[in-house]
Amino acid sequence: MKKIIKLFSVFLCLIFLAKAASANEFLFYKSITAPENIKNEVGAATLDSQIYGNTNNDFANLRIYDSQDNEVPFVVRKLRGREKLIMEQPVAMKILSLEELPENRLSIVLERPEEKNKPREDSIPSDVIIKTSNNNFEKTVSVFGSDDKQQWQLLVENQPIFDYSRFIDLRNTSVSFEKKRFKYYKLVIDNVAQALVSAFSQIFTKYAQGKVNQEYASFTRYEGVLRIESLDFLSKQEKAVEGELEMVPYPLDIAEVKINQKDKTSEIYLNSQREPLTRMLLKIENQNFKRKIIVEANNSLDSQVTWVRIASSEIFNINAGDFHKQNLKIDLGNSENRYKQYRLRIFNYDNPLIEVDSVQAEGAIHEIVFFHNNQTRLKAYYGGSEIKLPQYDVSFVLAEIPLKANERWQLSPERTNENAAAKRKPIITQKQLLIIALTLMVIVLGALIVSSVKKVDEISE
């Protein structure tokens, strides 16, 4: 009896043990070809409409295999644009000397502290902010760099700083210069003492024979000296970071247009390749209308089935004289929508019908990211049913790795997987196998009960 139980346990384990999907379980495949001069051990390929149309929403029926038919771990992620972010890091500087130069100029020499550890890029200054409480001035600044305070190299010449607050709210006291590593830096400020005219004036009038003969104004002139409160040096660096999701257009084919007289609606049926859609854009030539619209969807291509409502909005196009206002976009919610067919229901009520010329959708781009292990040709298999979602250890790592444009692999045209097409239908399905296993389990449990009863009777006797 113990042997029977062990054999039965092994049988159950073989039934319920999840196995990895093989290439023969998928209906289609595409070759993935590497670019020339591979430099990164990670590759990526952009999914297309053919893959969208034959995969589940979670891409469970999608795999990558190498030339030896070994499964290659991958992750599906949305493609994001790369933005340049300017990072600012303060740089400590020590003022060594300040000297008045001829022609109304001022020279300030500063020292950058020595770096104890390995020199860092963010310790090299590229900008200086001259903080001052002065108003209404205009000056120029030149910046030099040196390692010995003898030979000075010009980094920027005659950069303006100004304050025009007397006329307009406009002010700039920062100077950008060439980013180079030096021990000493020198600022030369021109027009330090600036002659200014006071806003207050006195008006003098001369009379002759009871009439105004001459009138003039007297303004007070004074010398405005630039008072520097602090010099703040910064090191600016450009850093590439992930930006917004990259969106691409996906065309939708108008399959049929119906007029529902009972509901007073226009019904527009659209066919899709199950691309991930987040917005629709309608092209309508009619003007001066405002209509309620509902977007519904299904995956059966049967107009008689139950439709799923995914969005509602108002579209309008108003053009009256100089007044123009338009909204022909429909947001499909926060999540992506992957359906075979969509239906637009436009509520006309008692108004004239409007004609939709075309409908174009927008959605994100999905890409597969993988470690290619120095292979230049892989295959992406997809399609098929009853295939479980894979779980890879490296998926978290692959989801975070940034890639450049020259590391994109190319997908070949779609091909039918002949091995999958020739695969025969199994004699016993997984459901039938489960029923057999449960039946055997009941039989074994019954035999155990009968055996236990017999033993109890023998003990009693």
Residue 175 pLDDT greater than 80, yes or no: yes
Q: Per the confidence metrics, is the pTM higher than 0.85?
A: no
Residue 191 pLDDT greater than 70, yes or no: yes
List the domain range (segments joined by +) for residue 443: 427-461
Count of domains for the chain: 4
The number of beta carbons lying within 10 Å of the beta carbon of residue 45 is 22
pLDDT, mean over the chain: 84
Pairwise CA distance, residues 256 & 258, whole Å: 7
- At residue 120, the pLDDT reads 76
The number of beta carbons lying within 10 Å of the beta carbon of residue 75 is 20
Residue 301 contacts residue 377 (beta carbons within 8 Å): no
What is the CA 264 to chain-centroid distance, rounded? 41
Any idea which residue has 């995914």 for tokens? Answer: 310
What dihedral angle (degrees, nearest 10) is formed by the CA atoms of 29, 75, 44, 241? 160
Residue 131 contacts residue 228 (beta carbons within 8 Å): yes
Same structural domain, 97 and 233: yes
What's the pLDDT tens digit per position in 386-443?
899 998 988 888 887 877 766 789 999 999 998 885 544 555 555 666 677 777 777 8
What's the pLDDT tens digit per position in 147-158?
999 999 999 999
Same structural domain, 219 and 162: yes
DSSP 277: B
Residue 416 contacts residue 383 (beta carbons within 8 Å): no
Same structural domain, 97 and 234: yes
Q: Examine residue 13 and state whether it is found in any structural domain, yes or no.
A: no
Least confident of 20-24, 231-235, 260-264, 364-368: 20-24
When comparing pLDDT for 204 and 324, which is higher? 324
DSSP 228: -
- At residue 16, the pLDDT reads 43
Pairwise CA distance, residues 231 & 130, whole Å: 5
- Domain boundary at 314, 338, 364, which? 364
- At residue 48, the pLDDT reads 94
Same structural domain, 124 and 264: no
Same structural domain, 311 and 412: no
Same structural domain, 103 and 181: yes
Sign (positive or negative) of CA dihedral 221, 225, 229, 233 = positive
Same structural domain, 235 and 118: yes
